[in-house]
């Protein structure tokens, strides 16, 4: 049966519709197996049959769209499963065919692919910010499952964009913008350069038809001149390559319209003033022939030194490989020359899709290259999975990583690392490895020591200096620019905070149990935290440590159900400290007036001595924040800000809590108390813990004014081995 079909297909093509023949003619010989051909034929028929009565806005049968998507995918030399799924990509959404029908007739993978595309087409990217971010998430999740889903979506989008003129202006604009902001950058990141430029040209055509037509005309008019020039440029090169017996395909290629307009606008020039409208491409068989061709080019034409790039030795992160050089052609024109093997050329055009064109036997060979191509995707996906950042934050992260240009810097081993502009050594360190990032204390750039906030430039050689005792702190968040670094730092800080809350929680629990003479319960609580109403012991400790629950309440509720505990109130250490500190002030004056209803922002816990501002809230009076509090930047209504002051006489002291981190050593505590006593500062409490040679110190002090505090902080910074100090 199968071989019959094959025979029919191969011997008498005219019996089959040309749309089908077009697709199978794109398949490599080795892929034209009976199985593959009959599968494509079945899909072709099923799709045509089930879309039978549907027509497109253009008046054509709907199936023409499905056939075109299949053809575009076949052109990319992609595997047959994807072509079949491409032919069927709209049947779940638009016809009565279900996923299980597809699984039954074809296979599970094809069913999953069609379902994936169906889900993806439900996603619209121009909606509200929040939804948009969630949509990005959805898309990335479906891509991470099987990246072929997005390839089908690209083909679908290319065909829809090329037939967009039949839709309403409004719809055209929405689809064009979505293509420009989501799909084209994504294609770029997946190394599908050809898809990206096709999309960009279609977007340009849709959004600015007049400009587009103008440039197209001008490019066409100058075509003859250009071709003559290119022929003259190529001749000596191809002659010389012939002498070396190197087979090369050399051709000139006009730049894409969208890139021409981009240049005109960027340089504020007229079309006639843009000279580098075309590039020469040389395609050879082997890598060493690329370098031979480069030698010939540089021998015939003077190279423009600054513009030489060897992406063969150091491929771009999306897998792109090629040599780029710019030379002075006849009349001093600058000509860009790209040299690559035919295999690299394939990869440059279809990027990640190239992976599926290879036979099973070759797959291992290409595994590493595909891995690097989709590595960034996996990375983002992994980060997202483990982060509970808000949707709009995620959107920002995507935008940054997807749409910005890139710089390239080198590791000491000469490995190329791609970063976004204005990246710092911290970004670089995290890009190399999260452990390198976590412990980095400094960096050498081009053999010179630089600070961690140094801005890297393309071509820099970067060496990271690490120390086992160094860990991320909050200031790193300001220095880091890449998603990866920021997420790792945030995750570390969160974990650190969690661990601290566990310790603090334990401390509080221990103290409070002692107070009510129930310390013996501690062991049984550990074994069965249910005694205090918690499923998990760590959860209990962190809830206490974070101040989410108050131990006295827990004890009252669970241990003294029936006893009345008057006069007994236990506060968390933090609230105790804050209340103690606030007692120093009679209160707050608002615009000079006292006796106004005020409350304190829980976000920043201001205490006397802090610079503060007030914000008027309906119904609850004035909320007081530290002036440096981050949350006040979200308050948009400027008229609600009021000036507030501590109602405090000048001779009164106030209380401050400092947190410091040191590399642990002998006499540390001594040095600390020394520093405070020298300034006549009274220590109310000191709490120091050391672990893994890192000492964390919480210091509660009484001081009389800010300048005394500033002096103390300066003194503390001089204490040997200090790593970190902050008020909190
Ligand atoms: Mn479609």
pLDDT digits (tens, 9 = 90+) for 36-49: 899 999 999 999 99
SS3 label, residue 125 = coil
Q: Give tens-digit pLDDT for 459-509.
A: 889 999 988 888 898 889 888 988 788 888 988 888 888 888 888 889 888
pTM: 0.57
CA nearest 197: which of 189, 187, 207, 182? Answer: 187
Residue from 22, 42, 75, 93 carrying the catalytic annotation: 93
Give how far Cα 164 sits from Cα of 65, 160, 196, 258, 477, Å. Answer: 12, 6, 17, 18, 44
Structure tokens at 51: 């879309």
Distance 359 CA to ligand 1 centre (A): 28
Residues 681 and 648: beta-carbon distance below 8 Å: no
Q: What is the model's pLDDT at position 596?
A: 64
Give the C-alpha separation, 65 to 162, whole Å: 11
Distance 86 CA to ligand 1 centre (A): 9
Name the residue with tokens 């976590």: 438
Give how far Cα 227 sits from Cα of 218, 296, 509, Å. Answer: 14, 21, 83
- In Å, how far from its chain's centre is CA 321? 23
Q: What is the model's pLDDT at position 528?
A: 82
Distance 156 CA to ligand 1 centre (A): 5
Give the C-alpha separation, 321 to 714, whole Å: 53
Residues 482 and 445: beta-carbon distance below 8 Å: no
Distance 140 CA to ligand 1 centre (A): 19
Q: What is the model's pLDDT at position 517?
A: 79
Residues 20 and 40: beta-carbon distance below 8 Å: yes
Question: CB 523: neighbour CB atoms within 10 A?
Answer: 9
Distance 89 CA to ligand 1 centre (A): 6
Distance 128 CA to ligand 1 centre (A): 24
Distance 201 CA to ligand 1 centre (A): 20
Catalytic (active site) residue 94: yes
Q: What is the model's pLDDT at position 359?
A: 43
Distance 174 CA to ligand 1 centre (A): 16
Question: CB 84: neighbour CB atoms within 10 A?
Answer: 28
Residue from 42, 75, 94, 396 carrying the catalytic annotation: 94
Distance 157 CA to ligand 1 centre (A): 7
CA nearest 329: which of 229, 404, 399, 244? Answer: 229
Distance 90 CA to ligand 1 centre (A): 6
- In Å, how far from its chain's centre is CA 101? 37
Residues 644 and 623: beta-carbon distance below 8 Å: no
SS3 label, residue 254 = strand
Q: What is the DSSP letter of 591?
A: T
SS3 label, residue 618 = coil
In degrees and rounded to multiples of 5, residue 229 shows phi and psi of: -60, -45
Distance 372 CA to ligand 1 centre (A): 30
Give the C-alpha separation, 91 to 42, whole Å: 14
Catalytic (active site) residue 93: yes
Helix residue ranges per DSSP H, 434-550: 434-438, 474-479, 483-515, 521-527, 537-545
Give how far Cα 549 sits from Cα of 82, 91, 501, 647, 708, Å. Answer: 55, 54, 12, 31, 35
Distance 113 CA to ligand 1 centre (A): 13
Q: What is the model's pLDDT at position 640?
A: 77
Angle between helices 360-386 and 391-403 in degrees, nearest 10: 140
Stretches where the chain sits below pLDDT 50 are 1-2, 358-369, 400, 403, 561-571
């Amino acid at each position: 049966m199968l071989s019959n079909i094959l025979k029919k297909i191969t011997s008498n093509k005219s019996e089959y519709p040309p749309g089908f023949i077009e697709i199978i003619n794109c398949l490599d010989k080795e892929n034209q197996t009976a199985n593959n051909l009959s599968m494509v034929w079945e899909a072709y028929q099923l799709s045509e049959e089930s879309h039978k009565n549907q027509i497109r806005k253009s008046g054509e049968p709907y199936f023409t769209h499905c056939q075109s998507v299949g053809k575009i995918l076949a052109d990319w030399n992609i595997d047959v499963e994807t072509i079949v799924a491409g032919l069927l990509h709209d049947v779940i959404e638009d016809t009565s065919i279900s996923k299980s029908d597809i699984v039954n007739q074809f296979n599970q993978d094809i069913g999953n692919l069609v379902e994936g595309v169906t889900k993806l087409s439900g996603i619209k990217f121009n909606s509200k910010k929040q939804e948009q971010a969630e949509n990005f998430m959805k898309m990335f999740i479906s891509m991470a499952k099987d990246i072929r889903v997005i390839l089908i979506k690209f083909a679908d989008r290319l065909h829809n964009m090329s037939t967009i003129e039949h839709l309403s202006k409004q719809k055209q604009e929405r689809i064009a913008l979505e293509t420009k902001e989501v799909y084209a950058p994504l294609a770029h990141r997946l190394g599908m350069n050809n898809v990206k430029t096709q999309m960009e040209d279609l977007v340009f055509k849709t959004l600015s038809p007049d400009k587009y037509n103008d440039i197209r005309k001008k490019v066409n008019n100058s075509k003859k001149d250009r071709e003559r020039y290119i022929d003259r440029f190529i001749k000596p090169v191809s002659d010389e390559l012939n002498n070396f017996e190197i087979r090369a395909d050399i051709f000139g290629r006009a730049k894409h319209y969208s890139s021409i307009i981009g240049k005109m606008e960027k340089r504020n020039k007229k079309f006639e003033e843009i000279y580098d409208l075309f590039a020469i491409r040389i395609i050879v068989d082997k890598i060493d022939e690329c370098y031979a061709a480069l030698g010939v080019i540089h021998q015939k034409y003077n190279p423009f030194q600054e513009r030489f790039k060897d992406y063969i030795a150091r491929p771009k992160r999306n897998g792109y490989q090629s040599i780029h050089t710019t030379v002075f052609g006849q009349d001093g024109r600058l000509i860009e020359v790209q040299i690559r093997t035919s295999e690299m050329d394939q990869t440059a055009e279809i990027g990640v899709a190239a992976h599926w064109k290879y036979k099973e036997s070759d797959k291992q060979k290409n595994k590493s290259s595909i891995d690097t191509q989709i590595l960034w995707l996996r990375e983002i996906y992994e980060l997202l999975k483990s982060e509970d950042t808000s949707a709009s934050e995620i959107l920002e992260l995507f935008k940054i990583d997807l749409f910005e240009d890139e710089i390239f810097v080198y590791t000491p081993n000469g490995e190329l690392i791609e970063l976004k502009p204005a990246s710092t050594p911290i970004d670089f360190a995290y890009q190399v490895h999260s452990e390198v990032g976590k412990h980095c204390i400094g960096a050498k750039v081009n053999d010179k020591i630089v600070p961690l906030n140094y801005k890297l430039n393309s071509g820099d050689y970067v060496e990271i200096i690490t120390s086992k005792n160094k860990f991320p702190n909050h200031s790193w968040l300001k220095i880091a620019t890449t998603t990866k670094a920021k997420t790792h730092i945030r995750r570390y800080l969160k974990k650190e905070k969690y661990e601290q809350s566990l310790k603090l929680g334990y401390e509080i629990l221990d103290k409070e149990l002692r107070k009510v003479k129930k310390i013996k319960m501690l062991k049984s609580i550990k074994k069965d935290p249910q005694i205090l109403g918690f499923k998990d012991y760590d959860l209990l400790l962190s809830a206490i440590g974070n101040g989410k629950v108050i131990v006295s309440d827990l004890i009252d509720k669970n241990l003294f159900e029936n006893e009345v505990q008057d006069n007994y109130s236990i506060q968390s250490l933090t609230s105790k400290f804050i209340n103690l500190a606030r007692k120093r002030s009679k209160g707050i004056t608002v615009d000079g007036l006292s006796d106004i209803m005020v409350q304190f922002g829980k976000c920043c816990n201001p205490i006397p001595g802090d610079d503060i501002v007030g914000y008027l809230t309906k119904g609850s009076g004035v909320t007081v924040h530290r002036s440096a509090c981050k949350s006040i930047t979200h308050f948009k209504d400027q008229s609600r800000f009021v000036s507030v002051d501590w109602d405090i006489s000048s001779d009164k002291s106030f209380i401050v809590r400092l947190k410091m981190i040191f590399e642990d050593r002998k006499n540390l505590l001594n040095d600390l108390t020394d520093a405070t006593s020298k300034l006549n500062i009274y220590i109310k409490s000191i709490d120091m813990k050391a672990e893994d040679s890192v000492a964390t110190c919480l210091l509660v002090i009484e001081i009389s004014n800010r300048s005394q505090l500033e002096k103390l902080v300066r003194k503390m910074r001089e204490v040997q081995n200090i790593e970190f100090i902050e008020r909190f």
